[in-house]
Chains A and B, each alone.
Chain A
Amino acid sequence: MRLVEHATPSSRIGVVLIGAALVVLTFAPYWGDRQTLRLLVEVFTFVALASLWNLLAGYAGLVSVGQQAFVGLGGYLLFALAMLLDVHPIAAIPIAGVIGALVAIPVAALIFRLRGAYFAIGTWVVAEVFRLLAAQISVLGGGSGISLPASVVQAMAPSRQMREFETYWLALGLTVLVLAAIVALLRSRHGLALTAIRDNELAARSNGIHVGRIKLAVYVLTAFGTSMIGALIFLQKLRISPDTAFSVSDWTAFVIFITVIGGIGRIEGPVIGTVVFFLLRQTLSDLGSLYLLMMGTVAIVAMLWAPKGLWGYIAERFSWQALPLQRHLVLQKDAGGKT
């Protein structure tokens, strides 16, 4: 008999609901219009980016304000592979991911020498270096950026509608993949180690957990995912420039806001947070800097008075879980029926 079970009553419901939602979303190209599809792609990419940031910060304790380095890297790699090496744009996405992961290794070797908030700023410096280097590459547009040539765009699909459908399914698929990988990781032995690190790093270390190695692995895996998402984002945008590729506000500020509001350190958090973020954006429409101002204020308020985020509050209050991630012991019943 299994000693450790993951499911709870609420997580069983959660899995069913998620499954139903996935079916509906898969058929979105048939019931949704072009606007809706574009919005959904944005939602998916933010869910993925926020989930990856959450893994890094909420579980491995590596707070990065420089993930835009890999978003931009992924984007530029896609353009480089497609334009300069004639790689099919869709195939370029996973390749960009792999290269991003490889780049993450020497980057980690450097910035892991910094601790805490200094590490965070270090990640920012790395993103700045990437941005400045990108501006030096004239074949990819230098400082003003470049558009994806028609030949590459056509290679994806002959009609614009087909391209939009493909991009949509790619985004959905990639996001589901990222979330599934995170769930699988957290359910595994390594996931248990991560949760231990999250709760008390010193204690985890003294229990024999190789904290340094795990952090490196998580950093590299996150870079892999983030680079692929970045590639996809700029495939959809059809145009890239150093400032948009490595934008702090787009790829870090929004992501942090989403994760803080939704709940750091819980897998459901980024999903809830993204929904809230987009609801706010739709209702308030883009007010530019005023919107960012409000966002910053809400994030501060949330961090101080609701540090566990919306989902954190709900999960504790009602003991809900959307996904079977808990671990609880199943006790044997003896012959007398007592546990």
Chain B
Amino acid sequence: MHWLNIILQGVLIGGLYAMFAAGLSLIFGVMRLVNIAHGDLIVLAAYIALMVTQALDVSPLTSLLLVVPLMAVIGYTLQRGLLNRTLGDDLLPPLLVTFGLSIIIQNGLLELFTADSRKLQAGPIEVQTFQLMQGVWIGILPLIQFVVAIGIIAGLETLFYRTALGRAFRATSDDQSVAQLVGLDTRHIFALAMALSLAVVAIAGVFLAVRANFDPAIGPARLIFGFEAVVIGGLGSMWGTLVGGIVLGVAQAIGAQIDPGWQLLAGHLVFLAVLAVRPQGLFPKVSG
């Protein structure tokens, strides 16, 4: 029973990791860009939510109404103004520019907010649980977060495969030149993809901030969790990303039970094991 609780907790936090991964995966799918600042943008969203909740005296959930559009606008501007310039055949510019961005965001947040740990308060819901069965308890907040994660992934799948925008994303990803030939402004399409990615990041950031303490330095770890979830799940598969997140979450939960210092290590080792044994991930997309 004890172990069942542990594993359940791992599964639920896997939903959060899948949220981290979804934004990363989307951008890579559309423009082959890996945003090294992704984790730091999640933390940025958390701080923006902090400011919004404090200034307007609203709950974290309500703050989403502002944080999500704001982050989307930041994403659009970032892509259009800066990151579009790095796209091309050379892999160095996007990598180094997003790395530089990561450093800027971390240190900018440090200057503005100091290294103090913060947390968003969501009220009593944070500790509420319900009993699934004899001896097995599920936290309400982690469950909500897991359901939201599923919703986001389902939403993204629907967007990609059933809407005109999704068609535009897939076409641009396939062949930028021909996408232009059918009248798509690819700069705009890329910027929309980034806006969407950061909208997801915003939701992930708020959930992160409610769940645990955060400070300017925790960004890179979130990037790594998202990245590991993507690799474990399989490149190109959104639902695979959910599975990857769950595997990572469960590995970490089990590791933490063995020894608190082993929590992160367990996750990394499982990642490395998947890389060794099945490098294409658990559910790789078959098409090109």
Q: A interface vs B, CB < 8 Å?
A: 57, 61, 63, 65, 109-111, 113-114, 116-118, 120-122, 124-125, 128-129, 132-133, 135-136, 143, 248-249, 253, 256, 260, 264, 289-290, 292-293, 295-297, 299-300, 303-304, 307
Contact = CB atoms under 8 A, between A and B. Distances in A.
A262 B33 CA distance: 25
B268 A132 contact: yes
B265 A132 contact: yes
A157 B154 CA distance: 66
B107 A290 contact: yes
Interface stretch (B13-21, B131-139, B175-183, B222-230): B222-230
A122 B33 CA distance: 15
A25 B242 CA distance: 57
B110 interface: yes
B4 interface: no
B96 A256 contact: yes
6 contacts: A63-B96, A135-B261, A253-B99, A260-B96, A290-B111, A304-B86
B65 interface: no
A117 B94 contact: yes
B227 A303 contact: no
B28 to A, nearest CB: 8
B110 A128 contact: no
Given A116-B34, A289-B110, A304-B97, A253 B220 contact: no
Interface of B: 33-34, 36, 82, 85-86, 91-97, 99-104, 106-108, 110-111, 220, 223-224, 227-228, 231, 261-262, 264-265, 268-269, 271-272, 275-276, 279
- Nearest 9 CB-CB pairs, A to B? A117-B34, A296-B103, A289-B107, A113-B279, A296-B104, A300-B100, A296-B100, A299-B100, A293-B107
Contact of A124 (B91, B94, B220): B220
Which label, helix, strand, loop or mixed, suits the secondary structure of the A interface? helix
Nearest to B265: A132
A132 B264 contact: yes
Most buried by B among A135, A297, A304: A304
Which label, helix, strand, loop or mixed, suits the secondary structure of the B interface? helix
B34 A125 contact: no
A296 B275 contact: no
Given A121-B36, A129-B269, A264-B92, A256 B99 contact: yes
A296 B36 CA distance: 13
Contacts of A249: 103
B103 A253 contact: yes
Contacts of B264: 128, 132
Contact of A121 (B33, B93, B100, B227): B227
A133 B268 CA distance: 11
Contacts of B85: 304
Given A110-B276, A248-B220, A125 B100 contact: no
Given A248-B220, A304-B86, A63 B231 contact: no
Contacts of A296: 100-104, 107
Contacts of B272: 110, 125, 129
Given A117-B36, A133-B265, A293-B107, A303 B96 contact: yes
A295 B103 CA distance: 9
Nearest to A120: B95
A124 to B, nearest CB: 7
Nearest to A252: B99
A249 B219 CA distance: 13
B96 A121 contact: no
Contact of B34 (A118, A289, A300): A118
Contacts of A303: 86, 92-93, 96-97, 100
B224 A121 contact: yes
A132 B252 CA distance: 13
A180 to B, nearest CB: 26
Contact of B92 (A63, A128, A135): A63
Nearest to B91: A116
B223 A121 contact: yes
A304 B98 CA distance: 12
B111 A289 contact: yes
Contacts of A260: 96
A114 B276 CA distance: 11
Contact of B228 (A111, A116, A125, A256): A125
Nearest to A118: B34
A113 B99 CA distance: 22
B36 A300 contact: no
Given A249-B103, A253-B99, A293-B107, 4 more contacts: A120-B36, A122-B275, A303-B93, A304-B82
B269 to A, nearest CB: 7
Contacts of B107: 289-290, 292-293, 296
B93 A118 contact: no
A181 B269 CA distance: 35
Contact of A65 (B99, B262, B276): B99
Nearest to B230: A118
Contacts of A143: 261
Contacts of B231: 114, 118
Contacts of B220: 124, 248
A111 B92 contact: no
Nearest to A135: B261
A122 B274 CA distance: 13
Nearest to B33: A117
A63 B36 CA distance: 13
B275 A300 contact: no
Nearest to B264: A132
Contacts of A133: 265
Contacts of A61: 91
A124 B224 CA distance: 8
A128 B103 contact: no
